[in-house]
Amino acid sequence: MTYAGVWTIAEARDGALRQVSFELLTRGRKLADKRNTTLSSVVLASGISDETVRELIKRGADRVYVVDDPALAHFTAETFSNVLVKLIDTYAPEIIIAAATTSGRTLMPHVSMRTHAGLTADCTDLDIEEGTGNLLQTRPAIGGNILATIKTPEFRPQMSTVRPRSTKPAPVDASRTGEIVRLPFDPALRDGRVRRIGFKANEGEEVDIQSADVVVSGGKGLKKAENFALIRELAEKLGGSIGASRDAVDRAWIGYPHQVGLSGKTVTPKLYVAAGISGAIQHLAGMKTAETIVAINSDPDAQIFRVADYGIVGDLFEVLPLLNERLSREVGSK
């Protein structure tokens, strides 16, 4: 069988595409160009318009396969997997990338088992190997202390999930054209064993540090939970969200939804402020792609200064009140 083309698995909710779908196009376009092949996106959804789907083309897809049916309104691994496996059997893509979201990380192992293909989870980098054309899938391994690059030379398609926010969304080019292929949903593919009985949002889901333009994070240097008030004040003044290191979360100074890093969330804000955070590799994995990084640490040799654009060597209990006071005056005088 000849496998060709790169696919991204777009994610939709309530008739709208999720931002991660556009991040996957940044990755997918690069891979497709290197392989000199086409880039297609797959949308499994209910009630999604051509106009909505066209955004995938404007952001880099050459073709979009849409399967639109009420049975696909909510994610269920079995039904989504049945539909995707059928598409793979029909069109034989060489590479498939999906988001390392809860649904992506549930769907893709199911698909990989059914297609006997390899899958690398939670990649932070993807590339094409010169000569062989194999997909190079890089992800942190052994507690995040090394970056491992994995290949799947024996099996096709090659499949990866990619960390949300680990790359920027592909930009819109209104002049791009492409094809929308709407395919019928085969009712036989619906897995009747699974029924959706409701949706309960995770408490803390309102903490969306991944969409924030500004994230102000605190670490063990804060010494105790109450001192997060300094972080909260700065975040409020900058119109941002509150992040934290794992040590701060493990000490229950703040909830897990705020954790930034390898076992927390990846953020790419315009501004990231790290106060009392040493800059362990697992923390850096979640924030080093921020546009501007400001670090406040009393240890001039702290690792965080290696990635910081601006470093303040000092006691955060002196620096943060000064910053907050200065911002109060600036904002107050406007």
Ligand X SMILES: Cc1cc2nc3c(=O)[nH]c(=O)nc-3n(C[C@H](O)[C@H](O)[C@H](O)COP(=O)(O)OP(=O)(O)OC[C@H]3O[C@@H](n4cnc5c(N)ncnc54)[C@H](O)[C@@H]3O)c2cc1C
Sign of CA dihedral 12, 16, 19, 24: positive
Angle at alpha carbon of residue 257, lines to 149 and 18, rounded to 5°: 65
The answer to whether residue 52 forms part of the interface with ligand X (CB under 6 A) is no
Applying CB under 6 A, among 59, 163, 190, 283 the residue interacting with ligand X is: 283
The answer to whether residue 143 forms part of the interface with ligand X (CB under 6 A) is yes
Nearer to ligand X, 5 or 261 (CB): 261
Q: How far is the CB of 246 from ligand X (least distance, A)?
A: 3
Applying CB under 6 A, among 12, 25, 126, 302 the residue interacting with ligand X is: 302
The answer to whether residue 58 forms part of the interface with ligand X (CB under 6 A) is no
Which residues in 303-332 contact ligand X (CB under 6 A)?
315-317
Nearer to ligand X, 276 or 311 (CB): 276
Applying CB under 6 A, among 120, 161, 282, 289 the residue interacting with ligand X is: 282
- Amino acid at position 317, single letter: F
Q: How far is the CB of 142 from ligand X (least distance, A)?
A: 9
Kind of pairing between the strands at 179-183 and 158-162:
unpaired
Which residues in 196-235 contact ligand X (CB under 6 A)?
219-221
Query: Near ligand X by CB under 6 A, which window of 94-102, 160-168, 206-214, 239-247?
Result: 239-247
Q: DSSP code of 21?
A: H
**23-54: buried (b, 16+ CB within 10 Å) or exposed (e) per residue?**
bbbbbbbbbbeebebbbbbbbbbbebeeebbb
Q: How far is the CB of 165 from ligand X (least distance, A)?
A: 13
Q: How far is the CB of 74 from ligand X (least distance, A)?
A: 29
Residue given tokens 């969306």 in the structure block: 208
Contacts for 103-110: CB closer than 8 Å, 24+ residues apart: 103/11, 103/75, 103/77, 104/9, 104/11, 104/161, 105/161, 106/75, 106/77, 107/9, 107/75, 107/77, 107/80, 107/81, 108/9, 108/159, 108/161, 110/77, 110/78, 110/81
Q: How far is the CB of 43 from ligand X (least distance, A)?
A: 31
Nearer to ligand X, 53 or 260 (CB): 260
- State the angle between helix axes of 316-332 and 228-237 in degrees (0 to 180), rounded to the nearest 10: 30
- Amino acid at position 249, single letter: V
The answer to whether residue 245 forms part of the interface with ligand X (CB under 6 A) is yes
Q: How far is the CB of 300 from ligand X (least distance, A)?
A: 9
Q: What are phi and psi of 86, to 5 degrees?
A: -65, -40
Q: How far is the CB of 188 from ligand X (least distance, A)?
A: 43
Helix (H, G, I), strand (E, B) or coil at 103: helix
Binding residues for ligand X, rule: CB under 6 A, are 143-144, 219-221, 245-248, 259-264, 276-278, 280, 282-283, 286, 296-299, 302, 315-317
